[in-house]
Structures are given as C-alpha cells and as structure tokens.
Amino acid sequence: MLKIEDYKAVFASVGLIGVLLFASSTLGLVLRLPGGEKFSELWVLGPGHMAEDYPFNVGADVNYLVYVGVGNHMGCSAYYVVYVKFRNQTESLPNATVGTPSPLPPLFEYRLFVEDGKSWEAPLRFSFSNVSFSENRSFVGSLMINGLTFNVDKSASWDVENNGYYYQLFMELWIYNVEFQAFEYHNRFVGLWLNMTGV
C-alpha cells in the first residue's frame, strides 16, 4: 500500500497539470515562442508558369515572356524591390559570398508587398532592338521591358567554348529594413542566360 506522502505527490502533480491547463489560454497570449527560419524566395518561371521553356536563343524584335516570383517566409509582411539588370559576360554579378549586389544600374523595378507565407508573381516581357553583329562581336542597343525602352548599349564577344554571344538578364531581391528605414540587398538573385542569335 502507498504511503500518504506518495498520494500527496500524485495530488500535487495533478494540481500542477490542472493549473497549467487552465492557464494555457492566457499564457498563449503573453508568451511568444520563436518561429522557424526566416527567409525569402526569388524565382523565375517560363511562359507557362513552369520551370521550362525559358528563352535562350534570342533575336531582335521578338517578344519574350517569363514570370518573376517572390515568396515571403520572414514571419511578417515584407516590402520588397526586385531590380531587373542586364549584363554581358564581362560585367559582374552579385556576390553571394559577401552578400553584395551587382554594381550595374537597374533597368526596371518591381515594388511589392507580400504577407507572411504568401507569394507574388508578375510577368516580365522583354525584347531587344538595335542589334548588330561585326567581327566576332554582337551589340545590343535597346532592351524593352514591360513596354518601357532602355538604351543598354552592350556588346558581347563570341564565346568559343559555348558557341554564342552571351548576355544575362538577372533579377536582384532587395528588402525594406524597418529598423534602418532603408532597402538592403537580400542576397537573392536569379538570371537568364541569353544567346543573341540574329538581327
């Protein structure tokens, strides 16, 4: 037979569990448990909203369509800017190790607000004009993005290894830091390699 002290301990345990159960609804309002990992996603999809049929061999005066998307897992709503930039093979990309953006000026920008756990997607329509080729070099004069024309004046030399004149259209993700009241590079970028094939 158990001693009275043992029964006392059982009653005390039951009492403690009961107190915690009845207090849990209020404790849930006061205590904030740490959430999971905070991060954002940036993606680019082909014209069918799938990771396929990306434009690769491109020419002048042809319209191309891809979709740019952003996913928010930051634990609260976020204010993002996606900068669209254009470069040739010699110009620098963002540095993922140091977390610095590309020094190239943005051509186009998307400003977007996304709730936590939700995503955003928008079309990116682009075409090239004033394209020319001479002595193993190609030149791109203008790039039209979503109906706006930008003078880019870029040139690319013939890539012997990959057989083409390569350019890259890439997107950088920036996030608004509420504490510093400023946008900062969010260390996310995606790009499309484009081989300029004809005028």
Q: What is the dihedral of CA 155, 156, 157, 159, to 10 degrees?
A: -170
- Shortest Cβ 114–another protein spacing (Å): 7
- Shortest Cβ 49–another protein spacing (Å): 19
- Shortest Cβ 152–another protein spacing (Å): 14
- Shortest Cβ 77–another protein spacing (Å): 6
Of 28 and 198, which has the nearer Cβ to another protein? Answer: 28
Question: DSSP characters for 41-99?
Answer: EEEEE-TTSSS-----EEEBT--EEEEEEEEEESSS-EEEEEEEEEEETTSPPPBTTTT
Phi, psi (rounded to 5 degrees) for 9: -60, -40
In whole angstroms, give the CA distance from residue 198 to residue 103. Answer: 29
Of 11 and 56, which has the nearer Cβ to another protein? Answer: 11
- Shortest Cβ 15–another protein spacing (Å): 5
Of 26 and 163, which has the nearer Cβ to another protein? Answer: 26
In whole angstroms, give the CA distance from residue 108 to residue 143. Answer: 11
Phi, psi (rounded to 5 degrees) for 86: -135, 135
Structure tokens that stand for 60 in this block: 């002048």
Of 39 and 113, which has the nearer Cβ to another protein? Answer: 113
Site residues (vs another protein, CB under 8 A): 4, 7-8, 11, 14-15, 18-19, 22-23, 25-26, 29, 76-77, 79, 108-115, 120, 148, 176, 178, 181
Structure tokens that stand for 102 in this block: 């590309």
Of 13 and 136, which has the nearer Cβ to another protein? Answer: 13
